[in-house]
A and B are shown apart, each in its own frame.
Chain A
Amino acid sequence: MHQQSEAPVVSQVDPNRRWWRRADPDLARQAACVRSIAMQVGPPSAPMETRREFFRTGELTARMEWAQRLTGNAKAMVRSRLERARSLGDRRTVAIAPTSDKLTELLVNFPNFAPAIRQVQGQLSLCQCTPGRLLQLQPMLIEGPPGIGKTAFANELAKALGVALTRVNVSTLSADFSLAGLDASYESAKPGLIWDALDSPCMSPIVMLDEIDKTPPSSASALGCLYALLEGHTARQFCDEALRLPVDASYVVWIATCNDASLVEPALRSRFAITEVQAPTPEQMPAVVASVHQQLIHGREWANAFDTRLSADVVAKLAEMTPRQMHRALEQAYAEAANAGRDRLCADDIPRPVAESKRRLGFLN
Chain B
Amino acid sequence: MTKNIQCGAPKDSASDYSKHIELLMITADKVPAGWRKTYDEAMRGLLKRDCASRSSLVVSGPLIQDGEIGFHVSKDDHCVAGILRKTAARLQGQCQVCGAQARMRVIGLKRRPLCAECYAPRALTAELTRLLQDLKVRAAGKSQTLYSAHDLSPRIRALLPDSCWHHVQSECGAKVVRCIASDDLRGMSDWLRAIRDRALALTSATTDG
Contact = CB atoms under 8 A, between A and B. Distances in A.
Interface stretch (A23-31, A121-129, A140-148, A278-286): A23-31
B187 interface: yes
B178 to A, nearest CB: 7
A7 to B, nearest CB: 13
Interface stretch (B23-31, B71-79, B116-124): B116-124
Given A37-B199, A44-B188, A131 B161 contact: yes
B194 A48 contact: no
A30 B159 contact: no
A17 interface: yes
Contact of A17 (B103, B158, B191): B158
B161 A31 contact: no
B130 interface: no
How big is chain A's contact interface, by range? 20 to 34
A267 interface: no
A51 B166 CA distance: 10
A33 B154 CA distance: 12
Nearest to B162: A14
Contacts of A52: 163
A361 to B, nearest CB: 58
Given A49-B188, A58-B176, A31 B194 contact: no
A47 B164 CA distance: 12
A58 B167 CA distance: 9
Interface in B156-198: 157-159, 161-169, 173, 176, 178, 184, 187-188, 190-191, 194-195, 198
B90 interface: no
30 contacts: A16-B178, A17-B157, A17-B162, A26-B116, A29-B117, A30-B119, A31-B155, A33-B121, A35-B159, A37-B121, A37-B199, A37-B202, A41-B191, A41-B194, A44-B188, A44-B191, A45-B190, A46-B190, A48-B161, A49-B161, A49-B187, A53-B163, A53-B165, A56-B167, A57-B168, A58-B167, A91-B166, A131-B161, A132-B161, A132-B163
Interface of A: 14, 16-17, 20, 26-27, 29-31, 33-35, 37-38, 40-41, 44-49, 51-53, 56-58, 90-91, 131-132
Given A44-B191, A46-B190, A51-B184, 6 more contacts: A16-B178, A29-B120, A31-B154, A31-B155, A41-B195, A49-B161
